[in-house]
Structure 1
């Protein structure tokens, strides 16, 4: 008896400590959402899963401001691109049943598409390696606003009318909504059922996900649906209303409690077997054999030494992230209904709180460049690096300035970092975020390399900035037409600048960067001349639509 009492006291003490630690963790989590946790703001709902148990779920702020309805774990959120994993799941199920082959080409489903469809496989669509232009960016190139309506027929026309790809299929990984919209259509062609119906019958209903659906009819009623919001300049909120009905790339509404059931199935495999999950989590491979960190609409990566499976989603007024640490059987779900609540970093911050003892400690590093003593360079040497630099891959410019014998890296007039010389041609960027070491290295032939934590992430070449007067700018003016998106552009001078008008409506200004190349909030404009040095066309490029041609009209 005497030995039992100390043991019980020890056990009670341990349980009390564990409970206190858990409460401390939850207090830290609630602090992350403090900004939105009030009766006058939209907010979020979260779920934290440990070893198959929903150990914490909570709503913050309001699901509907007009009716004062709070967010809860039962609130249905638009999870945007997180819908893609359910589209991928439908494709994998059909593949398992022998209804389609993942190596089938797009042309076998759409023989009317251009010749390049013969080189695009279902795998390319799944892994975002198809090279297709992204219809979601074609919409605004066509002059549509985020709240404008378009339907499946419009999307099919846009995709099928593209004469060129962004790149050869399998050559690169570039996120593309067109591919997942097409996968949704392929589910219908193969199964004879709309994606929404197939997913409900084969996934949502068997798993008991009664409050999850693909919204393919904007008149549908969704119980406990959250409205999406965006902060307004007045300090209030704007209600974001969407009438869109397309699915595949997005469209799923679901709840924290339903996604818990989806997470359970990853481990339990009562409906979806091992082969299914193996296919869902197999990384894609490029033509050169390189593995990419993307599988069946899931990113497979590592975070602080631990394997992660996750995907984010973003739509006007909504953001989401579903983050899983499979080896720890720990998951975080974050759904938000306000555009200034970023679900991805919030989910990782929650993981930081709960998994702090599980994260692998980094190996002791060799003395980094950040620890090297700075050196003194002459003004003459520093001046050699001053200039304008262009990134041809992602199409943006940077400037290197010299002020008070210090080089400065300028993204814009208000976004500038000083550079500390550590070698004759290498500089450490000052005032970077914690844990981020940036080195700017100047190469031969007037080039610059941008290095983050030892990895080269961007390359630049010097260029001569364009200096056009009003007379010079007149040669770029006129009307242009794109057959591929059936849209008219017109360039006019307004307030001494070139402005773009789309289908007669004023949109954005164009800023000259270098000879025959202009930048704008819409994209990059590269003008093409004939043998008489006259402008005959331009190409417009965005991150996911490359070299869309507009011919000058006579």
Structure 2
């Protein structure tokens, strides 16, 4: 079964962050407390893990549904999922880590890192790639399609811009794959190797990555679509270093809920990025006309000047759905990971946040 995280991802993010009341009356999610959250997830036959933290205390951490089709293989709180486009915030953090090391500037343009950039794209900056304001299209091929760096760049550079550079928000997976390549060129390391040494290891995220964690067979969940089981993500057509460039850098990272909590804590504690760089990371750099109220570097941002500032990003394919919500000033983290295409992930996260903020 072929996985995609392009158009579906955009539709899902639009679902969640443009209109939270878009579910029909029989799909409404009403969560008044953690007991009703558990009942709601059971009633929906939810498959995945939900982890909720308030004031650094874990107040909800439960797993539901099947990990795969084998007998007695159920999801548990340590199950590893494809987090889809949440991957983008790790790519953005990698770029900013390199900026702290004076190896990359967000004002650098593509022509600094790549030869043969055509005139219409040579002035696209790292900042514009980070904020989806480059004008680049969403994608150029399937996530698991074999493609060399040369072929990838040729297709990207030959593609038509869908808006003038820097003027509009157009969600672009290939923009983040270009950022992944910039990480490799600036650091002299493979993309995942750099993230592992500079982001994951300092955050103690030992169960996050593409291939470095050397997953055991029963760690990684299989995705399900219409009740049919697909391959594990890392059993798809990957290279020895993880996915090819249609996915690498923009999606496909594997992780578990407890590691995503460590990532949230790392952000709030300035473990990977210093305080000034974290502020840049989570700053509302661009106001889209769709999807998000504001966009930072790999994050949607709501209420940026409020005590209820929210930094959020989701991801979706036809096999996995993920969402990470962080209220930095409230020390609230909401993590939902599912091995199904699950539209209600976003409305559930919203309802969890509503009752926590109302307390």
Asked if these proteins are the same fold (TM beyond 0.5), I'd say yes
Could you say which residue in structure 1 is the equivalent of 2:220?
225
Could you say which residue in structure 2 is the equivalent of 1:78?
82
Indicate yes or no: 2:335 matched with 1:333: yes
1:292-311 to structure 2, matched below 5 A, reads 293-302=294-303, 306-311=308-313
Could you say which residue in structure 1 is the equivalent of 2:349?
347
Instruction: Give me the whole-angstrom Cα distance separating, in 1, the residues matched to 2:162 and 2:65.
Output: 42
1:334, 1:347 within 8 Å by CA — same for their partners in 2? Answer: yes
1:105-254 to structure 2, matched below 5 A, reads 105-135=109-139, 138-139=140-141, 149-153=145-149, 154-162=151-159, 164-215=160-211, 224-231=219-226, 236-239=227-230, 242-244=236-238, 245-246=243-244, 247-254=248-255
State the 4+ residue runs in structure 1 displaced beyond 6 angstroms. none
Unaligned ranges ≥5, structure 1? 1-22, 358-554
| CA displacement 1:172-219 (0-9 Å, x = unmatched) | 0111101100000110011011110000001111111111113599x9
Could you say which residue in structure 1 is the equivalent of 2:41?
33
1:29, 1:353 within 8 Å by CA — same for their partners in 2? Answer: no
- Please state which structure has a larger fraction of its residues in helix: 2
Distance apart, 1:222 and its partner CA? 6.2
Instruction: Give me the whole-angstrom Cα distance separating, in 1, the residues matched to 2:35 and 2:90.
Output: 33
- Please state which structure has a larger fraction of its residues in strand: 1
1:319, 1:342 within 8 Å by CA — same for their partners in 2? Answer: no
Aligned residues between the structures: 314
Could you say which residue in structure 1 is the equivalent of 2:259?
258
Could you say which residue in structure 2 is the equivalent of 1:319?
321
Answer 1 or 2: higher relative contact order, Cα 8 Å, separation at least 6. 2
Distance apart, 1:305 and its partner CA? 8.8
Could you say which residue in structure 2 is the equivalent of 1:94?
98
| CA displacement 1:435-460 (0-9 Å, x = unmatched) | xxxxxxxxxxxxxxxxxxxxxxxxxx
| CA displacement 1:65-109 (0-9 Å, x = unmatched) | 224311122111100000100000000000111001110101111
Instruction: Give me the whole-angstrom Cα distance separating, in 1, the residues matched to 2:256 and 2:132.
Output: 27
Distance apart, 1:152 and its partner CA? 4.3
1:230, 1:240 within 8 Å by CA — same for their partners in 2? Answer: no
Instruction: Give me the whole-angstrom Cα distance separating, in 2, the residues matched to 1:29 and 1:121.
Output: 43
Distance apart, 1:257 and its partner CA? 0.7
Secondary structure at the counterpart of residue 355 of structure 1: helix
Inter-CA distance 71–266: structure 2 relative to 1 (3 Å threshold): same
Q: In terms of Rg, which structure is larger?
A: 1
2:312, 2:323 within 8 Å by CA — same for their partners in 1? Answer: yes
Instruction: Give me the whole-angstrom Cα distance separating, in 2, the residues matched to 1:243 and 1:263.
Output: 30
Instruction: Give me the whole-angstrom Cα distance separating, in 2, the residues matched to 1:222 and 1:276.
Output: 37
1:76, 1:222 within 8 Å by CA — same for their partners in 2? Answer: no
Distance apart, 1:352 and its partner CA? 2.5
Inter-CA distance 285–257: structure 2 relative to 1 (3 Å threshold): closer
Distance apart, 1:327 and its partner CA? 2.3
Distance apart, 1:285 and its partner CA? 4.2
**RMSD (CA atoms):** 2.7
TM-score norm. by structure 1 comes to 0.53
Indicate yes or no: 2:77 matched with 1:68: no
Could you say which residue in structure 2 is the equivalent of 1:56?
60
2:48, 2:338 within 8 Å by CA — same for their partners in 1? Answer: yes
